[in-house]
Structure 1
């Protein structure tokens, strides 16, 4: 049971964006900042934050343009989104930070650590990074049809507006071994977060800039190595070989990469198995005793 009274909500103004920040835990605790993916909002981290609040200062945001984050939604490129997050980190004075991102949020985390490199550690979950192997293989997968569809200008908005709950439910169901793990309350929250057409556009823009993201990440791979410790997490039933992703990170120039598998979970690991998701992150962040083995 999640105690909603433990969460504090605020708006932080950064570079034309009013970012919705949700926080729990001790203000002087080691900070962990969570970034969501599509088609979700800060709400996807609620269970993890509830578990973590006794061990850390945990924060989650609505990405620019989504939910209660208003103003400049950026162009959707992960570089611009990372810049907003970077300014937010500075505005909140977050030090010794663990930056966690799921799905598109994981792409933002990767851009952040390559562009800024001022976080102590990073966690990327259940995503492929544009321009980083196995990017090409993923794009060739016919089950990833929505990458191309969401990239079409205007059309997705026309077809999805007013049908957010039904459209999002398709992905939440097909990518989750046990769809009941994502509650009706959570599903309604996601539909509400993208209720405005501008919010739909903000989310679809994350797909419309993937080619731009891939070019930026390829250029970064030709630069200096990234030394920020990275934990890559993937649901046990997500599909794909986690070893291919780890090798891709190392080939791209990340020198400290670790991995973990969240048992029983598909794509939405933080909601399907929040306990194990937090356990793996907490051990990596030094908030629990090191894992054996």
Structure 2
């Protein structure tokens, strides 16, 4: 796929592989040369690795770009628990199995929460990290976001069993609601991508995994609060769409107060929540500058 704004850019040759970590098969997609600095992308809900296809296309000539289907989604097998620290453990395993060093970890939405957990658990394993369009449990402004009535899906997805019962078989309809309401440019998330995301969560186990991420927020919050004060020197870039709710300074202050020493932030102009698809060239430019 290509972006609507750049239909002439050739799509790189995406390589699809399965990597086994602790007996769990993880779907890994890559483009570019393995000799170049590695950038690994982690998606969020309700997406798959495909959310980063256009950003990877922009960066593949300069970097070794990789993305995964998070455990339990798409072509990755499920894991016993779905808190972000456990997911971070499997991400670390993927890096080890592939022999990757000098890695920039980029997480969007739930993937951003996993990136934060990775930074906390393995602070010297990354060259740098990027968190996009997400609040992190236990890190300001987490409490304000939880109290926002417009973030209704956090408590709804946390209810046991009910979301699965209501959404199973209607994934495309349900996911479209989010793509259409919290993006500034819904048309950038095209029909092919929307169908692919619904397919990635088509099984009960995959849909259950997606909701289990929300049910683990309480555990994520406790772990992140317990880690506050432990200094992390790894450079962190926080990216946020211009039309996202809240101000970016509140998020940057929260990261710094939690112990992340080297934090910077940038706004993606014209973008809502799904910045990697709404503004892939803008995202790629900011990642390129940050990594270089």
State if a TM-score over 0.5 links the two structures. Answer: yes
Residue of 166, 176, 188 corresponding to 2:195? 188
Residue matched to 2:235? 229
Contact 1:160 1:167 in 2 (8 A): yes
Residue matched to 2:6? none
Contact 1:227 1:255 in 2 (8 A): yes
After TM superposition, give the deviation of residue 126 of structure 1 in Å.
0.2
Alpha-carbon separation, structure 2, partners of 1:154 and 1:6: 39
Alpha-carbon separation, structure 2, partners of 1:73 and 1:232: 28
Alpha-carbon separation, structure 2, partners of 1:106 and 1:163: 26
Alpha-carbon separation, structure 1, partners of 2:103 and 2:50: 21
Residue matched to 2:137? 130
After TM superposition, give the deviation of residue 74 of structure 1 in Å.
3.6
After TM superposition, give the deviation of residue 220 of structure 1 in Å.
0.6
Runs of 4+ residues over 4 Å off in structure 1: none
Alpha-carbon separation, structure 1, partners of 2:227 and 2:200: 33
Alpha-carbon separation, structure 1, partners of 2:193 and 2:80: 26
TM-score, normalised to structure 1's length?
Answer: 0.95
Which consecutive residues of structure 2, in runs of 5 or more, have no partner in the other structure? 3-9
Which consecutive residues of structure 1, in runs of 5 or more, have no partner in the other structure? 287-293
What SS class does the counterpart of residue 100 from structure 2 fall into?
coil
After TM superposition, give the deviation of residue 26 of structure 1 in Å.
1.1
Superposed counterparts of 1:254-265, under 5 Å:
254-265=260-271
What SS class does the counterpart of residue 6 from structure 1 fall into?
coil
Q: Deviations over 1:208-241 (max 9, x none)?
A: 000100000001104x201110000000111210
Residue matched to 2:114? 108
Contact 2:127 2:235 in 1 (8 A): yes
Residue matched to 1:57? 64
Residue matched to 2:220? 213
Question: 72-81 or 128-137, which moves further after superposition?
Answer: 72-81
Alpha-carbon separation, structure 1, partners of 2:108 and 2:51: 10
What SS class does the counterpart of residue 85 from structure 2 fall into?
helix
Do structure 1's residue 96 and structure 2's residue 91 form an aligned pair?
no
After TM superposition, give the deviation of residue 277 of structure 1 in Å.
0.2
Alpha-carbon separation, structure 2, partners of 1:46 and 1:97: 18
After TM superposition, give the deviation of residue 17 of structure 1 in Å.
1.5
Alpha-carbon separation, structure 1, partners of 2:164 and 2:173: 14
After TM superposition, give the deviation of residue 5 of structure 1 in Å.
6.0
Alpha-carbon separation, structure 1, partners of 2:38 and 2:291: 10
Residue matched to 2:7? none
Alpha-carbon separation, structure 2, partners of 1:108 and 1:114: 10
Residue matched to 1:290? none
After TM superposition, give the deviation of residue 16 of structure 1 in Å.
2.6
What SS class does the counterpart of residue 151 from structure 2 fall into?
helix
After TM superposition, give the deviation of residue 4 of structure 1 in Å.
5.5
What SS class does the counterpart of residue 272 from structure 2 fall into?
coil
Alpha-carbon separation, structure 2, partners of 1:148 and 1:235: 23
